[in-house]
């Protein structure tokens, strides 16, 4: 896979997730803007709890990776990806991090 395709697929995935988030989550949140209830809704049954725990821990892995590469490889702007990993979601933050880190890491090597 070439670099252009790599970046296009990542950007497409982030865009698709953002659209799904806007269609599925935002109307319910505007109807009841209680952030605590919205968070708790991810734990309504064992299956949802498993997926929610996975998402939270994936965000934590992303945090560790971004902090490590910021200190060891001087990769910049990872904090933006961490914010986007919270809203709209880890799929967006992770995809964006791969896009922004790629030229920085390749420049170093």
Task: Give mean pLDDT, residues 11-40.
Answer: 94
Residues 65-109 pLDDT 10s? 999 999 999 999 999 999 999 999 999 999 999 999 999 988 755
Give me the domain span that covers residue 9: 3-108
Looking at the predicted structure, is the pLDDT value of residue 58 above 90?
Answer: yes
Q: What is the mean pLDDT of the segment spanning 16-25?
A: 96
The mean per-residue pLDDT over the stretch 15-30 comes to: 95
Q: Cα separation of 84 and 61, whole Å? A: 14
- Total tally of structural domains belonging to the chain: 1
pLDDT at 59 over 80: yes
Residue 61 near residue 91 (C-beta atoms within 8 A): no
Q: pTM of the predicted model, to two decimals?
A: 0.87
**Closest to 73 in 3D by CA, of 19, 99, 109:** 109
- For residue 93, which of 72, 104, 105, 79 has the smallest C-alpha distance? 79
């Amino acid at each position: 896979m070439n670099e252009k395709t790599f970046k296009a697929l990542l950007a497409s995935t982030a865009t698709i997730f953002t659209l799904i988030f806007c269609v599925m989550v935002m109307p319910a949140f505007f109807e009841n803007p209680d952030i605590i209830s919205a968070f708790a809704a991810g734990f309504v049954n064992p299956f949802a709890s498993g997926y929610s725990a996975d998402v939270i821990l994936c965000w934590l892995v992303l945090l560790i990776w971004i902090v490590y590469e910021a200190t060891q490889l001087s990769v910049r702007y990872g904090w933006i990806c961490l914010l986007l990993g919270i809203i709209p979601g880890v799929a967006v933050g992770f995809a964006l991090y791969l896009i922004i880190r790629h030229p920085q890491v390749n420049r170093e090597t």
